[in-house]
Structures are given as structure tokens and as C-alpha cells.
Structure 1
Amino acid sequence: MKSNGTIRICGDFKTTVNPMLNVDQYPLPRTDEIFATLAGGQKYTKLDLRNAYLHMEVDDESKPLMTINTHKGLYRYNRMLFGIASAPAIWQRTMDQVLNGLDSVQCMLDDMIITGPDDETHLQNLKNVLQRLQNYGLRANLQKCSFLKDKVIYCGHEISADGLRKTTDKVQAVMETPTPKNVKDVRAFLGLINYYHRFMPNSATVLKPLNQLLEKERIWRWTDDCEKAFKKAKELITSDQVLTHYNPELPVRLACDASPFGLGAVLSHVMPDGSERPISFASRSLTKSEKNYAQIQKEALGIVWGVKKFNTFLYGRKFSLITDHQPLTAIFNPEKSIPVTTAARLQRYAIFLSGFTYNIEYKNTKKHNNADALSRLPMQSDMNINSEDADDLFHVLQIEDLPITSAEIQRETRKEKVLASVLYQAMNGWEITDDSLMKPYFTRRNELTVSHGCLLWGIRVIIPIKFRNRILELLHSSHPGVVKMKALARGHVWWPGIDSDIEHLVKSCTGCQINQHAPALTPLHPWEWPETPWQRVHIDYAGPFINRMFFVMVDAHSKWPEVFEMKSITATKTIDIMRQVFARNGVPAHIVSDNGPSFASAEFAEFLRQNGIKHTKSAPYHPATNGLVERFIQTFKQSMKAMKWESGDVNKKIANFLLTYRQTPHTSTHETPSKLFLGRDLRSRLHLLKPNLRNTVRVSQEKSCEIRMNKKDRQFEVGERVIAKDYRGKDPWVAGIISEREGPLMYKVSTDNGHTWRRHTEQLKSTQMPKSYEQSIENDNIIVDNTETRTQQHVAEKSPEQTKNNEMSMPRRNPIRERNPPKD
């Protein structure tokens, strides 16, 4: 039954046609978009079309489907009938096409509103609309039309030149609503209130008890607070608030605010006289996950939500963004880059806002009452925001046998006085304090966030005092040094003074102190860093220690290590292991080794030649040439010895060591070996940032070279008289002549006693000794039958510690005892 007493026939197709229908999708205009086009209008005309859907004829195939059953029989419609699911979309599209190109006219289904800045323009716009309706054969219902009125009722609002008002009938419906008896009644009442939410700047505060009744698993209980909210809401709906029309010529301001339980936004115009008039109010409650956000993130969420809510009015034009949270003026400043220490969520918000043209202003809370009141308790949100929160799940520490969980950290954070205060202020806003215990947190207040009840600084979990010693032990489980331990911690945990705590732990660790090695000081000429992984590989044997020998390979590009326990160190066994590794990683272009018997053999040389591998051998007794693998062996031995008091077999300890080493950033590359070698992180529980590798390697090499910047390279010419280091005779030096230069620091020396040696610059000295003195040295020396190769073989069988001790001591006068290598 229509309001005028006539009957409108509507078919009931919800169980017949509509379920099988491919419903046409076309958006109906939003009321705020309609009202936004009415700015500047002085009078208004409203037109209503007669029997709107019946203007559209349906095709013959569709007519049988539109048969209705009445008490007088079956009737088949030839025109569009009310009740078909696609009818509104089809009609709205049709009307938009009919009125396309006409100014100052809006249509919502069969209702049209027309305006103009003056009567003459208004009449011309009306004439154009009527002419267009006539051309398309559309008829208006004169009884429902209003012409050139100062105010009209359209889309449930009273529209005039001053702006928008609520209609009396809608207000009366709210006032006559009885006290709700169940959740369904509360939802219906809030629906009536929400229809006029744009008029109610402080409805949020009033409606909190009613919104809480709609929460899932909430037991129904109508309390005194609910009754007060119900009555207060009726009072608010009767206010005489007037919203101004949106005018694209006037400046626009968007004021946003957030409270612990909701968001609020006010869109307003700055009028020519300097006053502000609201265009619309908006508010919503926070979801369960959003309530756990830190206060700065809630404030930022309020800004982003407000911009999205009023996107129609803001996109493509400049506006002023008003906030009462001053740190956001720096983070969201459109003229500055996003601070690198900003939390990830705030960075995403800043990137979103970068698509708009705005300037951001700080306004003290006392002067920010419009949006602040909205946020105190907003309208119930129909959003279910869980996707972003799922991305923010974090791991406290991902190490096997995890001793501490996030639930324990959350519980202890609330118990600890300082952290409980930090947690509260991070959620509700910070107060200026001179407390020395709070200062480390206060200085980082803009970078602190809360996730699942735990405090985070960036991506690092803030650990309560109770768990700090256990976390330190966990970080030191494989006995890394200070630098690597700090690098691991910086990706996962933080507390004030963590760096000094790490340094103290390493210095007090018995295993680390007993087994650590002093760094060797030698003039450095760094190898060129390869461009790709597995291009140059450094190899060596480690041992014997812990009654075992180990074959070690290290990739020069990524620092990726391979370690194999060996029962035999022959060339054949070495080649077998290398074939296995080459099958996985490919054949390198360059191998660097010392002069051990396994690497100096003809069999090994032939294997490399067949595979097209260049072989570089270090100078005898000079392990620094192969320093990459030597340094790794030193680290490997130190960790293995430090772990000898721990349970587990050797293979498990080696596996744990390799996993930790491969996932820890190297001091030269500042990247993990796994990232450079595999192009990805291992399935690990520790991850770190990756800065520019080439620059970090260059800087690391330059720093190392600066240590020896006062040293000078010694250059020798072919034919020059020198004395060369003798490692087998009783005299430490033997005279000779430079016969060939093999590299920038490597020479062949023909000694006066008939031998040809390869020597490093550090093993040679220029000489001006008279010939007779050189001859006397030659006569005094006792030349044994053993060749230098045997001496080198003997030295290669010694551990790096023994080699180093020999270099630092005086040459031995007594024969050197030879040790047999381990047998198969």
C-alpha cells in the first residue's frame, strides 16, 4: 500500500526466479555523493516518476517467468515488475544514461532533485530534465512533485540552501522506539540512530553500553548504563545540528582522533568569515585486534580511516589534516621522507597517504574536541580486520627447545613495574617524565608498538628483567663472539644496556676465554671479492683436534662453509669429497689451498686440470695467504672446543655450528652466507637486514688495510741478490738470487746451495753481504737429503696452532719429529 492509498503490486520471486538469476550489478549513488553536488543551490525541485519500473518492457522469453498468482488467477507481466532482484540496478543504469550530461540534477531510482544558483538557472535545468524525460517517454507523478521550494525532503533528509537537517518523521520514529528487550531490538535502534550519524558528533560516548551488547558471546543484560545511553541517544537525535553543503571552492579540513576504544573524524569547511562548519561526522569502534595497537598506531589508523571514509571529498584536491598526536606530523609530513625507524604499520599508512595532497597540522587536544568526542566511543564497526593483524605475528626467539614464550613475556611485562608503565603509556599516550628508568623507553616512544600484549621496539621484542639472563644464554648457545652475538640480538630482542650485557657475558664465558685466539697481525693484500658464489673456493684440513681431522671448504663470495670429518687425508679421499660437493654446487673456477701433501700431489693437480680449475697454493709456512679458510677453521675449533662440555655427539655439534654460522651475517659482507650463496635465507629462526654488500666489503677491507698503512711492500727484481728464509737448516737464512717473479708478493729463489724455493715477500730480504761471507754460510750449512717438499709435507700435517707457534718462535736447532697422518 502506497502512502496515497493506492496499491503497488510486487511479485514474490525469492524462491523461484531470483535464486537462479544472474543479478545485474550496478551501484546505487551514495547519499553523501548526492548531497555533495547540491552546493550553491538556492531552491530545489523534486520529481517522482510514475510507476517507474513499468516504463521498461521485457523480452518475450522473460515474460513467462514474471507470472504472478493472485486470488483472481494467474497474470503475466509484459513490463518490469517490482520484486525482480535485478530491477533496481537496471533502472538506475537506465536513469543515469537518460540524465547523462545534465547539470545540477541527481537521481536515486525514481526520485530526482534539481537545483541551481538562481531561479533562472534553476528553471533552465528543470526544463532540460523534463525535455529529456519526454524524449525517453518517461512520466512524472505530479502529486509527488515539488517545484522551486526553499526546502525539500529527499533521501530522508531535509535539504535547503543552509545545508542538511534531519526529518521530523525519522526523528519521531526514534523517539517512539520502546526499550529494547533483546539484541535484535538494540541492533534495530542503532540502525535508526546510525542513519543520522553524520549529524551526531558525540554519539560515540553515549552509545558505548549499547554497542557492547552486540559483541559476540556477550550475555544479554540491560543495565542502568544501557538505559541512560538509550535515553541520551534519543535526546541527541532531536538536536538542531545543520550540516553545510560540500563546496569544492572552499578549503576543506579533516580532523581525526582516536581513543582506546574508537575512531572519530570530522569533515568541515572553512567559511569565508574564518569559521568552521561541519560537512559530516563519522566514527566507529575499534576491533578487538585494533584495541591492542599502541596509541600512536591508533591515532594513525584514525587518520587513514577518516581519509578513506571521506575519500569522495578529498581525493584529487588539497586539504588540511588535523591531529592531536604531534609525532604523526613528522611521520606523515608530505614534504619529508618516512623515518627509517618507523614501525612497519605506520610506514604502510604513510605510503597510503602519499597518494593524497594535504598538509598536516598539530592541534592540542583541548582544541580538538570535535573529533576527540567522536573517538571516545564510536558507532559499532562492521569491519572484521584480521588480515593485517595476522601479518604482525612475531617470534620471540626461534631456536629449538624454546625456553620462553610470548605468553610468558606478556605476563611478566604486566608484572614488572617499569614495563607495565611503558605498556600503558604506549597504549594510551605518553607523559613527560624525568625517571631515569623510563628515559630509554621515552626516547624511543615513537618507535614502540604493542603486539599480543608484548612491547616491541621496531621488530625487537622488549624482554623483562626476569628473562634476560636466559635470553643471553640462548643467544650464546653456540659461543659466538661479541660482534656476532650482538648481530643476532639486534634482529630479535632488546632491553636497555643489552650491548654491555652481551660484552660482559662473552668476557665471563670460560669456554670462550680459554679457547679464543689472539688476532694475527700481517700486512694485508685482500683477495678480490668474486662477483658470484662458488667462483673461488678456499680449502684446507683442520686438525687433528678432538681426535679427528676435518676437510674444510669456504666460498670466497658468500663465506659459505662446508665441513667433512675425514678418516684419511689422502689426495684420493680429498677428491672424492670434492666431487660430491661439486655435484651439488658446481665446479668452481679457482681453488686456493696450502702446500699440504693432498693438495700438492700429481693426482690432485690432474683432477683440477681435467675440470678446468685454476689452483693457487699459498707460500709455505705462510697461512695468511689462505686466510679466509684459516680464520674459519679458527672459529670452528673455538666453537667445537667450547661445546665439549655440552651433551650430544660431534656430528650434532657440527650441524648446530654450521647452521648458526650460515645464518649469521659475516663481518665482511654484513650478509648471511646462506643469503649470498643460495639467494635466500635458510629455513631458520633468525633473520637480519641486508645492506649494500659491495660497499660493506670494501669498507671492511679498507679498515683492515688502514691498520698496516705505515707498512711498505718490498719489491725485488729478477737477478737481485737476497737472503731467503730457511726452515730446515740450522741457520735461518740462505743466500740466493731472484730467478722469477710469480706474482705481486711471490718469487722463485735460486739458492747458492743449489735449491730452488718459492718464497713470499715476507720471507725474503735484500742483501749486500760479501761473496766470501755467503760462501761461508753455504759451507757451514749441512744439506740433508730430504727435499723441501718433504718439509712442507711435514708442516702441512701440523695443526694451524702448531704452525703459528713455530712462526713466532726462534728456528729450531734440533731435528723436527715427524708425525704419521691418521690411518684409514
Structure 2
Amino acid sequence: MKQIARNYVWWENIDRDLEGMARECLPCRELRPAPPAAPLHSWPWPAEPWARLHIDFLCPFNNSYYLIIIDAHSKWIEAEKINTTSANAVCDSLRRHFSRFGLPKRICNGIKHTLVPPYHPSSNGAAENAVRTIKRVLKKAELEKEDINRALSRFLFMYRNTEQSTTGREPAVALLGRRLRGRLDLLRSDTAERVRARQLTEEQRGSAPLRVAQKNEPVLVRNYSKTGSKWDEGVVQARTGPVTYNVATKDGHTHKRHIDQILARKSRHSLSRVMDSSPNKSTSACSRDMSEGGSDHDHDESFDSAEEEASAGPAPAPQPPPPTLLAPTVQRIDKPRREAAIRCCEKLKNRK
């Protein structure tokens, strides 16, 4: 639309006017892709074992279900076969584990239950990784005609006695203070510092700045129901975590959503952005936005201000439109003719 318009007419803020018209197009909104993934946000590493548990289901496998539990401190994994995923079955399984290791601080019985956004498995990444690992073990045992329960027990025994790459210690040593076979404990110092360094390395791999939604900000929120549109209009009620929000939609419901499941309604770029402290990341993020076809009007004001604060010198003065983009017949027109030109561009778009 911009290219066609520039071949015939030009007025101040022509890009912004055309973008505003495109944002009001309901079919275009319905087909919008998900926003860029937010930067990795690691769970804080608990200082003591069995303080925070991550749980998930592996299901179905040979018409059976497995409850997977992983301790965030020691990376100790429990995998128990259950017949159903009902609340009673899950509670019975958890009681058996709690009778051996005690009650954790987070997940019933005065325990704080931390929920994650639905349809966003990376928010519970520790449990998802454990589920994937156990599923691979069960499939391998099935292919080798081995007893599944025996194979699972053997794997868990070896895993709990093997040094974990994140913590640098065996899960058995981290949870129980000893190796399962009674050999010398291979305790390592500064485990918390090593875990945080590993987390920072993973977080720094992504170059996208964190997008932030403000309270009472109108947004588009991902709709996962089988009926209705892909994106529903809503209003941010509260920020419940570094990357999670409560969003109220027009139907009166409140949904917990990850920032990856939220789009802004007012601008082309999604929500305001918090620039990374690394100058290289700030530069790469800005360059990527400009390389994707954005004009002087494509940036959010909050993104621009954050970038200016991170830079050492003053912001460069705005440049006029490149002359190579304008045809020789370009002319400045008044408001009535401008509106007629926008309608013409819309017809050309629909015809295309």
C-alpha cells in the first residue's frame, strides 16, 4: 500500500495514515501471527532442596498416564504411573512423595501453588524437559522389548546419580546429601552462582527486548477456545509476574496470559519495550526493526525513549523521505484529496 501510494501522491505522515487504516482491518487482525517470543526468563534457583516442585503429566502412553515431578534445586525426578489424571489420583500420588521427602514450599496443605499460562509449556520448562526425557526412555524400552517399569526404575537410578549440567551436582547429592551407592559425596561449592551464570548465558542468547504491558492498556489477547476469533480485545488488569498478566476480555472473563500471547492495539510494534542493558543488544534490536521495512513512524515512542536513554549521545534529527522512493509526479495534496487517496489505496489492496 505504501509503495503504490508513493508512486502517485505524498503528504506528511502518509505512512502513519496508511498503517492506521491497516490496523482497523478486521480480516488482517484475524490473520496476524503471534508476536516475537519474549526473552528467556529463568525461574529463581531455590537455595534448599524440595522447596519448589514442577509437576506435569506424560500422557497418554500405552493408555497410561505418568505424573512427572522435578525438584528445582536438585533436579531430582520422580515418575509415577497413575490410572487417571483426576485430582484425587494426583493428590494420592503427591502424598506418597511427601511422606518420603516432606512438604515443599510451592505447589495443597498450606503450599503456594504457582500457576502458569495455559498453552505456553515453556513457562513450566523444567517439567516439560523431564516429561520429554521420560517419554524417550519409555519409547526406547518399548522398541527393545524391555519391561517398561524396570527400564524406568533403572533410568531414574542412574539419572539421580549422574552430575547435572545446570547445578554441577548429582540430584541425589543435592537432595539427600549423599550418592545413592554410598560413595564419597562429590559436593561442589558455589552451586547457586554456577546455576545463575548458566541461566544468564541462556537469557543472553535472545536479542529481543522485553515487551511490557501497562495496567488498563487495551490489548489483543490470544483466544484458545474453539469458537470466536483468534485474537480477542481486552484490557490489562494486572502484571502477575515478569512476563505474565491478567487480561479481562469483553465477555467478562479474566485470563492469565504470557506476554508472547498479547499484542498491542494502538501501534504496529507490540507494547512498550524495555531495552537490554547490553549496548550491542540495543543496537541489534533497533537495526532489526528498521531492516524489517519500518519508517520513521514505525517505532513506539516508549521504545524510542528507552533507546535514547541507553545511548551516549543525542538522537539524530529526523530525515526526510528518500527521494528514490518518490515518483517524479509526486505532489502535496490537501485533506479531502488525501482521504480520497487513502480510499483508493484500500480499493487497490482489496483488488490485489
TM-score normalised by the shorter chain: which range applies?
0.5 to 0.7
- Matching of residue 525 in structure 1 with residue 23 in structure 2: no
Greater Rg, structure 1 or structure 2?
A: 1
**Alignment match, 1:720:** 217
Distance 1:743 1:550 in 2: 29
**Alignment match, 2:62:** 546
- SS of the residue 1:711 aligns to: coil
- SS of the residue 1:541 aligns to: strand
**Alignment match, 1:583:** 99
How much does 1:648 deviate? 3.1
**Alignment match, 1:694:** 192
Distance 1:621 1:524 in 2: 17
- SS of the residue 2:114 aligns to: strand
Matches within 5 A, 1:408-423: none
Distance 2:148 2:182 in 1: 21
Distance 1:522 1:680 in 2: 39
How much does 1:763 deviate? 0.6
Aligned partner of 1:755: which letter?
H
Distance 2:242 2:163 in 1: 31
Aligned partner of 2:210: which letter?
D
**Alignment match, 1:617:** 115
Matches within 5 A, 1:329-408: none
Tell me if structure 2 keeps the 8 A contact 1:537–1:553: yes
- SS of the residue 2:204 aligns to: helix
**Alignment match, 1:38:** none
Distance 1:570 1:707 in 2: 39
Instruction: Pick closer, same or farther for the CA change 1:688–1:588 going to 2, 3 Å.
Output: closer
2:74 to 539, 551, 558: 558
Matches within 5 A, 1:686-765: 690=188, 692-708=190-206, 710-728=207-225, 729-765=227-263
Tell me if structure 1 keeps the 8 A contact 2:222–2:232: yes
Instruction: Pick closer, same or farther for the CA change 1:744–1:692 going to 2, 3 Å.
Output: closer
Instruction: Pick closer, same or farther for the CA change 1:531–1:685 going to 2, 3 Å.
Output: closer
How much does 1:706 deviate? 1.5
Distance 1:684 1:651 in 2: 24
How much does 1:522 deviate? 6.3
Deviations 1:43-73 (A, max 9, x none): xxxxxxxxxxxxxxxxxxxxxxxxxxxxxxx
Tell me if structure 2 keeps the 8 A contact 1:663–1:687: no
Distance 1:751 1:563 in 2: 38
Tell me if structure 1 keeps the 8 A contact 2:166–2:198: yes
Distance 2:96 2:201 in 1: 37
Instruction: Pick closer, same or farther for the CA change 1:684–1:563 going to 2, 3 Å.
Output: farther
**Alignment match, 1:482:** none
Distance 2:157 2:115 in 1: 29
Deviations 1:269-320 (A, max 9, x none): xxxxxxxxxxxxxxxxxxxxxxxxxxxxxxxxxxxxxxxxxxxxxxxxxxxx
Aligned partner of 1:715: which letter?
V
How much does 1:588 deviate? 0.6
1:534 to 26, 31, 50: 50
Tell me if structure 1 keeps the 8 A contact 2:38–2:211: no
Distance 1:691 1:646 in 2: 40
Aligned partner of 1:713: which letter?
L
Distance 1:677 1:715 in 2: 37
Distance 1:541 1:699 in 2: 30
How much does 1:643 deviate? 2.5
2:177 to 657, 679, 683: 679
- Matching of residue 629 in structure 1 with residue 145 in structure 2: no
Matches within 5 A, 1:386-535: 523-535=39-51
2:88 to 572, 579, 582: 572
Tell me if structure 2 keeps the 8 A contact 1:671–1:691: no
Tell me if structure 1 keeps the 8 A contact 2:71–2:77: yes
Distance 1:563 1:635 in 2: 11
Aligned partner of 2:209: which letter?
K
Instruction: Pick closer, same or farther for the CA change 1:647–1:634 going to 2, 3 Å.
Output: same
Instruction: Pick closer, same or farther for the CA change 1:684–1:731 going to 2, 3 Å.
Output: farther
| TM-score, normalisation: structure 1 | 0.27
Matches within 5 A, 1:591-610: 591=107, 608=108
How much does 1:625 deviate? 1.2
How much does 1:552 deviate? 1.1
Q: How many residues align?
A: 230
Tell me if structure 2 keeps the 8 A contact 1:670–1:691: no
Distance 2:48 2:259 in 1: 30
Aligned partner of 2:45: which letter?
W
Distance 1:649 1:724 in 2: 46
Tell me if structure 2 keeps the 8 A contact 1:664–1:672: yes
Deviations 1:358-392 (A, max 9, x none): xxxxxxxxxxxxxxxxxxxxxxxxxxxxxxxxxxx
| TM-score, normalisation: structure 2 | 0.62
Tell me if structure 2 keeps the 8 A contact 1:719–1:737: yes
How much does 1:645 deviate? 2.6
How much does 1:730 deviate? 4.7
How much does 1:554 deviate? 0.8
- Spell out structure 1 runs of 4+ moving beyond 6 A: 684-689
Distance 1:680 1:648 in 2: 30
- SS of the residue 1:758 aligns to: strand
Aligned partner of 2:47: which letter?
E
- SS of the residue 1:615 aligns to: coil
Aligned partner of 1:574: which letter?
V
Instruction: Pick closer, same or farther for the CA change 1:684–1:656 going to 2, 3 Å.
Output: farther
Distance 2:40 2:263 in 1: 19
- SS of the residue 1:579 aligns to: helix
Tell me if structure 1 keeps the 8 A contact 2:137–2:152: no
Tell me if structure 2 keeps the 8 A contact 1:537–1:554: yes
- SS of the residue 2:158 aligns to: helix
How much does 1:744 deviate? 2.2
- SS of the residue 1:707 aligns to: coil
Distance 1:713 1:569 in 2: 36
Aligned partner of 2:218: which letter?
R
Matches within 5 A, 1:766-805: 766-768=264-266
Deviations 1:716-763 (A, max 9, x none): 111111000011235211111112222222212121233322111111
Distance 1:687 1:546 in 2: 38
**Alignment match, 1:20:** none
Tell me if structure 2 keeps the 8 A contact 1:663–1:686: no
Higher relative contact order (CA 8 A, sep 6+): 2
Distance 2:44 2:125 in 1: 13
- SS of the residue 1:681 aligns to: coil
Distance 2:217 2:178 in 1: 52
Deviations 1:109-147 (A, max 9, x none): xxxxxxxxxxxxxxxxxxxxxxxxxxxxxxxxxxxxxxx
Aligned partner of 1:741: which letter?
R
Tell me if structure 2 keeps the 8 A contact 1:549–1:566: yes
- SS of the residue 1:644 aligns to: helix
Deviations 1:146-193 (A, max 9, x none): xxxxxxxxxxxxxxxxxxxxxxxxxxxxxxxxxxxxxxxxxxxxxxxx
Runs of 5+ unmatched residues, structure 1: 1-520, 592-607, 770-824
**Alignment match, 1:124:** none
Tell me if structure 1 keeps the 8 A contact 2:70–2:78: yes
RMSD over aligned Cα, in angstroms? 2.1
Runs of 5+ unmatched residues, structure 2: 1-36, 268-352
Distance 1:522 1:737 in 2: 20
Distance 2:156 2:184 in 1: 14
How much does 1:523 deviate? 2.8
Instruction: Pick closer, same or farther for the CA change 1:679–1:579 going to 2, 3 Å.
Output: same
